[in-house]
Amino acid sequence: MIGITVIGSYIPEKRISNYGRKAEFDIDDYFIEKKIGVRQVAVKDESEDTSDLCVRAFERLVKKVNIDKNQIEVAAVVTQNPDRNIPHTSAIVHGKLGLPESCASFDISHGCSGFIYGLSLMQSFMRENDFKKGLLFTCDPYSKIIDKKDKNTCLLFGDAATVTLISDKPCYVTGKFTFGTIGKEYKELSCADNRLYMNGRAVFNFSAKYVPEDINSLLKENGLSFDDIDQFIFHQGSKYIVDTISKRLGLDSKRVVFDAYDYGNTVSSSIPIILEKEMAKRENNYMVLSGFGVGLSWASVVVKKFQEDIK
Amino acid sequence: MIGITVIGSYIPEKRISNYGRKAEFDIDDYFIEKKIGVRQVAVKDESEDTSDLCVRAFERLVKKVNIDKNQIEVAAVVTQNPDRNIPHTSAIVHGKLGLPESCASFDISHGCSGFIYGLSLMQSFMRENDFKKGLLFTCDPYSKIIDKKDKNTCLLFGDAATVTLISDKPCYVTGKFTFGTIGKEYKELSCADNRLYMNGRAVFNFSAKYVPEDINSLLKENGLSFDDIDQFIFHQGSKYIVDTISKRLGLDSKRVVFDAYDYGNTVSSSIPIILEKEMAKRENNYMVLSGFGVGLSWASVVVKKFQEDIK
């Protein structure tokens, strides 16, 4: 059985406070705390590239679990902000970590739904190729493409990286996935000429419409009810979108995590950063993970506790 | 059973002749015909972007087979030259083709090994998610990043796109795959600041060393011998690398295709362009497909004829 064994996360120490930008952007505490839910955003050092952040996440991982690099059979990076367009960042990470020649590597280009896509792609790729150990990285440092004067994006997005060890010694295993795309609306969250553009209203409306429908479908597909789910981990698009989706689904706030106050919306890393913490609690039997945004797209999955300890 | 049903290819009509550049680059007919094996390179129109080339390939596909777009459950694009970094090009293609909302979409960032990675990832993703019909696009228009004065790259690379219908009505099915990465050598074929760099000698040496070893492993893994294979379709890196690999494996030239004379090295599209033609012949029972390059990486697979006709 292949599944999620353990997660390592790296959030850069450097922060930019939104409280310090209230005058510049004409925002107040309500906006900071209740609307976006981001008090400060994490920002990588300028000298750090995407592959470096992935390496930092790996350093966190190996503090939690012994990993023999020679046993890693595949390394994948989910990113839309690679070091370079050629090669894939996973090849650069492969070189920096000194992974074996027999190790496959590929990047998945996806945004806020990227961790869920990555989970499905990695697990199925590993099962088909009879691999036992793989590393799934997420890293999308939007500080590379954010216009510091753009209120719609600069107050919201933070930098981070995560790495998930997928192995035959899982702590959590996945149920059925759901996916969807509204490609014709892709321009609402896009990057041209190295500058991020977001129509916050359009992305909000998309998410508030499609994600609740998707969660209902997901539970039905998995033969589960809302009462079966201990935690709902939604992509941390903003406090307001997480609250809105929760409200539309009638979810008690105790079962919904919002955690991005002190680092921001970290795109494909938002879900694994929280999942790492929720897995450590060892008390959740079933969790729903749901990503949505860039594409426009959504992707969701149910994860189920498989065993108590990492063997 | 999921497998390859049919392939559509699009090679732009516009060509740049290498014979017309002999003086500029101090090259002769021997270099053009025997070393690189590229008489002319295909170049897309400046107004066409990566997603447009994918749409053209899809138009070729639907001339060969009836496709109900509403039945497409996943669309993936293999590219390292996307329209934009955000979103993934597959979302843009999804919008342009009018694919259904329930259709998953993701991009795979990979180069010359990309079609093989794409095959494995798409098929395994489809099997795990119980999908019956998916579109795997390849498109890497290097004309976007080539310095027209760089002899190492501008004479070699051509633009193209392909789309492979993966479905439960396969004509060819895959055996076991092999993969490998030498990430520490990634700089030998890379792109920084929108300019392609290639150390031709280093990439040649890498390919001539690792690919023959890999083909031996691949056949062993699949329980096949060289005599079982009707055609070897190698990535069309250059005439000289295909000849060298063939020679090292002791392969008769009748069983090795070189086809890039009139369009060039089309990166991830090089193998499916040839596979389309070889599948049409309906006479090959077993074929080996092997990609190598960007990463540096390799990926190979055996495909086996499954049925005569598209049902």
pLDDT at res. B203: 96
- Whether residue A87 and residue B80 make contact (CB cut-off 8 A), yes or no, is yes
pLDDT at res. A281: 87
Domains in chain B: boundaries: 3-167, 172-305
Residue in chain A closest to B301 (alpha carbons) equals: A129
Proportion of chain B above pLDDT 70, given as a percent: 98
| Chain B residues close to A145, C-beta within 8 Å | 85-86
CB–CB of B94/B135 below 8 Å? no
- Sorted by sequence, the CB contacts under 8 Å of residue B258 that are 6+ apart come out as B37, B236, B239, B242, B243
Residue B310, pLDDT > 70, answer: no
Q: How far apart are the C-alpha atoms of A266 and B233, rounded to whole Å?
A: 42
Instruction: Report CA-CA distances (Å) from B136 to B55, B87, B164, B167.
Output: 12, 17, 5, 11
Q: Closest to A180 (Cβ–Cβ): which among B93, B102, B125? A: B102
The residue with tokens 């995560």 is A162
Residue in chain A closest to B122 (alpha carbons) equals: A121
- Whether residue B101 and residue A182 make contact (CB cut-off 8 A), yes or no, is yes
Q: Closest to B82 (Cβ–Cβ): which among A90, A106, A109? A: A109
Tell me which residue of A296, A75, A221 sits closest to B129, measured CA to CA.
Answer: A221
Q: Closest to A109 (Cβ–Cβ): which among B109, B123, B180? A: B109
Q: Write the ipTM.
A: 0.96
- Whether residue B185 and residue A82 make contact (CB cut-off 8 A), yes or no, is no
Three-class secondary structure of residue B56 per DSSP: helix
- Whether residue B80 and residue A81 make contact (CB cut-off 8 A), yes or no, is no
- Sorted by sequence, the CB contacts under 8 Å of residue B75 that are 6+ apart come out as A181, B90, B93, B94, B97, B99, B103, B104, B105, B134, B135, B137
- Sorted by sequence, the CB contacts under 8 Å of residue A132 that are 6+ apart come out as A2, A71, A73, A126, A167, A168
Q: Which two tokens stand for residue A23?
A: 């005058």
- Whether residue A108 and residue B108 make contact (CB cut-off 8 A), yes or no, is yes
- Whether residue A91 and residue B295 make contact (CB cut-off 8 A), yes or no, is yes
The number of CA neighbours under 13 Å toward the Cβ of B69 is 13
Three-class secondary structure of residue A92 per DSSP: helix
CB–CB of B297/B110 below 8 Å? yes
Three-class secondary structure of residue B47 per DSSP: coil
* A172-305 shares the fold of A3-167: yes
Backbone angles phi, psi at B289, to 5 degrees: -115, 130
Angle at B130 between CA A74 and CA B135, to 5 degrees: 75
Residue in chain B closest to A294 (alpha carbons) equals: B87
Test mutation, A88, A94, A96, A187, chain B, max B CBs within 10 A: A88
Test mutation, B137, B177, B181, B188, chain A, max A CBs within 10 A: B181
In this prediction, residues B196-212 reach a mean pLDDT of 96
| Chain A residues close to B99, C-beta within 8 Å | 181, 183
Looking at this protein, which amino acid is placed at residue B83? D
| Chain A residues close to B87, C-beta within 8 Å | 80, 111, 186, 189-190, 294-297
Q: Closest to B106 (Cβ–Cβ): which among A74, A105, A110? A: A110
| Chain A residues close to B106, C-beta within 8 Å | 108-110, 117, 121
Helix and strand numbers (H, E) in chain A are: 9, 13
Superfamily for A3-167?
Thiolase/Chalcone synthase (3.40.47.10)
Whether residue A156 has a cis bond before it, omega within 30° of 0:
no
Instruction: Report CA-CA distances (Å) from B48 to A259, A289, B143.
Output: 42, 37, 11
Q: How far apart are the C-alpha atoms of A54 and A49, rounded to whole Å?
A: 9
Instruction: Please tell me the distance in Å from A24's CA to the nearest CA on chain B.
Output: 27
CB–CB of B119/B2 below 8 Å? no
| Chain A residues close to B103, C-beta within 8 Å | 179-181
Confidence of residue B307 (pLDDT cuts 50, 70, 90): low
Q: How far apart are the C-alpha atoms of A174 and A233, rounded to whole Å?
A: 14
Residue in chain B closest to A94 (alpha carbons) equals: B183
Q: Which two tokens stand for residue A309?
A: 């300890």
How many Cβ contacts (< 8 angstroms) between chains A and B? 205
pLDDT in tens, chain A (311 residues): 999 999 999 999 999 999 999 999 999 999 999 999 999 999 999 999 999 999 999 999 999 999 999 999 999 999 999 999 999 999 999 999 999 999 999 999 999 999 999 999 999 999 999 999 999 999 999 999 999 999 999 999 999 999 999 999 999 999 999 999 999 999 999 998 899 999 999 999 999 999 999 999 999 999 999 999 999 999 999 999 999 999 999 999 899 999 999 999 999 999 999 999 999 988 899 999 999 999 999 999 999 999 654 44
| Chain B residues close to A128, C-beta within 8 Å | 120, 123-124, 127
For A174, the enclosing helix (H) or strand (E) is strand A172-181
Paired with B291 in beta bridges are B299
Q: Kindly give the pairing relationship between strand A74-78 and strand A104-109.
A: parallel
Paired with B265 in beta bridges are B157
pLDDT at res. A308: 53
Instruction: Please tell me the distance in Å from B178's CA to the nearest CA on chain A.
Output: 9
Mean pLDDT rounded to a whole number for chain B: 96
Residue in chain B closest to A198 (alpha carbons) equals: B86
Residues in chain B: 311
Instruction: Please tell me the distance in Å from B108's CA to the nearest CA on chain A.
Output: 5
| Chain B residues close to A129, C-beta within 8 Å | 120, 124, 176-177, 179
Does B172-305 carry CATH code 3.40.47.10? yes
Test mutation, B186, B189, B199, B210, chain A, max A CBs within 10 A: B186
Instruction: Please tell me the distance in Å from B201's CA to the nearest CA on chain A.
Output: 18
Looking at this protein, which amino acid is placed at residue B132? K
Q: Kindly give the pairing relationship between strand B74-78 and strand B133-139.
A: parallel
CB–CB of B179/B299 below 8 Å? yes
- The number of angstroms, rounded, from the C-alpha of A142 to the middle of its chain's C-alpha atoms is 13
Q: Which two tokens stand for residue B262?
A: 């009139």
pLDDT at res. A310: 46
Q: What is the dihedral of CA A90, A92, A94, A95, to 10 degrees?
A: 170
The number of CA neighbours under 13 Å toward the Cβ of B247 is 9
In this prediction, residues B298-304 reach a mean pLDDT of 98
- Whether residue A179 and residue B104 make contact (CB cut-off 8 A), yes or no, is yes
- Whether residue A91 and residue B117 make contact (CB cut-off 8 A), yes or no, is no
| Chain A residues close to B129, C-beta within 8 Å | 120, 124, 176-177, 179
- Sorted by sequence, the CB contacts under 8 Å of residue B270 that are 6+ apart come out as B112, B115, B235, B236, B260, B291
Q: Which two tokens stand for residue B73?
A: 């459950």
In this prediction, residues B202-206 reach a mean pLDDT of 96
DSSP codes of every residue in A3-58: EEEEEEEE--S-EEESGGGHHHHT--HHIIIIII--SEEE---TT--HHHHHHHHH
